[in-house]
Amino acid sequence: MSAVDTVRRVLDTHGKLKTPAGALTEDDDLYAAGMTSHASVNVMLAVEDAFDIEFPDELLTKTTFCSIRSISSAVEGLLEAAA
């Protein structure tokens, strides 16, 4: 499973989105799709758990969690740094 698929799965469980994550493009605004800031914390924790990573403080911003692409690329960056 690619990072994008896993992120979509996490968003379905924790994102409180109005539509299934599969119906969103990678660049659609997740906040516009219904994700609250409270839900974004749960998404962050679930993504950390799924990839066994920890977001450093500088990545814990609204922009990191604004789209499927932004989350996936942050994850890939952290996985690369850890490799």
Residues that bind another protein (CB under 8 A): 14, 42, 45-46, 48-49, 54
- CB 11, min distance to another protein, A: 13
27 vs 56, which CB is nearer to another protein? 56
Angle (CA) 73 27 44, round 5°:
50
27 vs 41, which CB is nearer to another protein? 41
Q: How far apart are CA 18 and CA 56, in angstroms?
A: 29
Angle (CA) 18 12 48, round 5°:
130
- CB 48, min distance to another protein, A: 6
**Two tokens, residue 65:** 């969690």
16 vs 26, which CB is nearer to another protein? 16
